[in-house]
Structure 1
Amino acid sequence: MEYVDVAVIGGGQSGLVAAHALLREGLQPVVLEASGAAAGSWPRYYDSLTLFSPARYSSLPGMPFPGELDRYPHRDEVVAYLTGYATRLDADIRTGHRVTGVWRGDAGFEVEVADGSVLAARVVVAASGTFGHPHRPVLPGLDGFTGTVLHAADYRRPEPFADQRVVVVGAGNSAVQIAAELATTARVTLASRAPVKFVRQKIAGRDLHFWLRRTGLDIAPLGGLLRRPPTQLVIDDGRYRAALAQGAPDRRPVFTGIDGAKVCWTDGAREEADAIVLATGYRPDLPYLAGLDGALDAAGHCRHRGGASATVPDLAFAGLEWQRSLSSNSLRGVGRDADRIARHLAAHLRTQ
């Protein structure tokens, strides 16, 4: 069995910055990434995805995002940035290593990999993100829909839906962006429980993220005060509000039922649909912690305080939504949380 200081599970943005912070604390992390590249879920997002934060606010610690600072980077630019960050990071990063279980062991933890190998780690950082656990809400009649149902995690581009009738469920950034893109080739309805709430991308000539940083809202430690994240706002430069106003897509309340291929709307109308896209978010992807007593609650959510496990002293989390602040699971904010958990774990090891 191989013995390591820290096993970091996940080699995306959260795992990479966790490794960076741990190295600064004098620890030697081993990063275990399930996919074939240290870029996390970014290569699997839909083709047109563009950041809502400018490059100047999208950097990880120790490496500025390259290029013009006020542009909004594309998905592939983020992938290239993360792989470059991993290359510069002096850490042991092992791709193709999917963790299947974590248990208590003599040296702290035993971390099992899909190939059957086991690492003994003094501490563990769970940084596997959420993309591997798409949230599929219970919607009336959805299980009996005879058309195509897919989550936004499986959506790539609009061309396969040309001339089809498509319903996109959701009211967040991805839902609106995907629905508007699909509306260029298909007849699309955005179905949501409440109307979409927009916030302007630029205020007084400055990007929203400038104001979030200037006011301190971006880093305010609100995560522990909120039982649930607040209603998501859709960041818009004007085009998405205009698209909805023009009915491309149109917006309606979520359907009341489904009969075969027919969607039943709240006004009594029934119409056939070809596809339903669930842009309904994600949940922490932590199945490997199921056998670690106390790490997760009955619903599978991690018990933590600011990223440090509330029940397992030598376990920490990185990249959770609202882990500590509004920006905790973003490129611009995950580094701050990583520094905190690295200091916490280093102090814990010194007391052992």
Structure 2
Amino acid sequence: MIDASDAIVIGAGQSGLAAAHALRQAGRFPVVLEAGQEPVGSWPSYYDSLTLFSPARYSSLPGMPFPGDPDRYPRRDEVVDYLRRYAKNLDADIRTGHRVSSIRRRDGRFTVQLEDGTELTTPVVIAASGAFGQPYRPQLPGLDTFTGTVLHSAEYREPSAFGGQRVVVVGAANTAVQVGYELAKVATVTLATRTPIKYAPQRPLGRDVHFWSIALGFDHLPIGHLLKNPPHTPVNDDGRYQRAVKAGKPDRRPMFTSVDGDAVTWPDGSREHVDTILLATGYRPALSYLDPAERGHRKGISTVHPGLGFVGLEWQRSFASATLRGVGRDARYVVRRLLRQR
């Protein structure tokens, strides 16, 4: 048994690094446990062309501005490099290759057990393990019998392997539209959605939408915990995605009604061969080390265990809670509340 004394943060992606920074600012010395081999979270595993929808000036963690032109939209690999530098400059005990298997609480302290059997104890735990490790795969009629290829957007990297294919992308949010747009350059692609795609102009009145979100106070409103069924997230668009969908590259159709063999059936009754179904259907929190009954929270503060907090959950406190620009604000709030419980 090893005493970690101050706090343990689970996950060293953007949320875990922000939580560690908040703990250091509060005078605590956290141990950060990261299952991967470096403290960059899931970013290296995202698709190659991923570009942030927020400019660099709105894509920073606390204490370290994103470098370069503040008005540009950083790409995936720039974010990875930024997180590496952030972790290097963070005065915290970051331990990579340490996967947490379970957490138990007894006599006011948590015992955090790793997969290799090592146990650490601490009075404070912050779960910041993100969601990439748990892609959401909806139960679509007949999908389990599909004889073509089914993959989640977490498994997608770049379009060359799909050349000439008939591809259906399931989803209506940013990832679905961005991936569908990219694939449509080499394949015949349909976006299958339950509701029409909603678009949000990227630069209304010549300023990025994030400028207006912050200026009007929407970005900071702590109302995420009130939204049990979050509204459909609009697709941030500079115009190219909406134009492409209107031109049918990709096209958009209501969700197919069934899958049979290598074909899907559309609501109008037509049946069509499909090579690949790509699920851009999001993720669920990767909290396997907690029993389902222990995952309840309000604004990131556990409703079950004093001393347990969460950072990086979608709609945890605000619209930005699961983003680079939002995790720092939530981390400060969670750390402040948890330390008051001590």
TM-score bracket relative to the smaller structure: over 0.9
Helix, strand or coil at the partner of 2:233: coil
Partner amino acid for 2:175?
S
Q: Which moved more, 1:255-264 or 1:97-106?
A: 97-106
Unaligned runs of at least 5 residues, structure 2: none
Partner amino acid for 2:26?
E
Structure 2 Cα separation of the partners of residues 226 and 185 of structure 1:
39
Are positions 1:2 and 2:2 aligned together? yes
Per the alignment, residue 12 of structure 1 pairs with: 13
Kept after mapping to 2: 8 A contact 1:105/1:120: no
Deviations 1:179-205 (CA, angstroms, capped at 9, x unpaired): 010000011010000110000000111
Are positions 1:275 and 2:276 aligned together? yes
Structure 1 Cα separation of the partners of residues 157 and 189 of structure 2:
16
Superposed, 1:2-151 pairs within 5 Å as 2-4=2-4, 5-106=6-107, 108-151=109-152
Helix, strand or coil at the partner of 2:17: helix
Partner amino acid for 1:27?
R
Per the alignment, residue 201 of structure 2 pairs with: 200
Helix, strand or coil at the partner of 2:124: strand
Q: Runs in 1 of length 4+ with deviation above 2 angstroms? A: none
Q: 1:105 to 1:311 in 2, by over 3 A?
A: closer
Partner amino acid for 2:285?
P
Per-residue deviation, 1:146: 0.3
Kept after mapping to 2: 8 A contact 1:27/1:346: no
Per the alignment, residue 300 of structure 1 pairs with: none
Are positions 1:285 and 2:286 aligned together? yes
Deviations 1:52-72 (CA, angstroms, capped at 9, x unpaired): 000000010000000000000
Superposed, 1:222-261 pairs within 5 Å as 222-261=223-262
Per-residue deviation, 1:224: 2.4
Unaligned runs of at least 5 residues, structure 1: 297-302
Per the alignment, residue 295 of structure 1 pairs with: 294
Are positions 1:316 and 2:315 aligned together? no
Per-residue deviation, 1:228: 1.5
- RMSD of aligned Cα (Å): 1.0
Per-residue deviation, 1:107: 5.9
Alignment counterpart, residue 307 of structure 1, candidates 294, 297, 300: 300
Identity of aligned residues (%): 60
Helix, strand or coil at the partner of 1:316: strand
Q: How many matched pairs? A: 341
Alignment counterpart, residue 333 of structure 2, candidates 340, 343, 348: 340
Deviations 1:157-186 (CA, angstroms, capped at 9, x unpaired): 001111111000000000000001000001
Alignment counterpart, residue 326 of structure 1, candidates 319, 322, 331: 319
Per-residue deviation, 1:77: 0.2
Helix, strand or coil at the partner of 1:248: coil
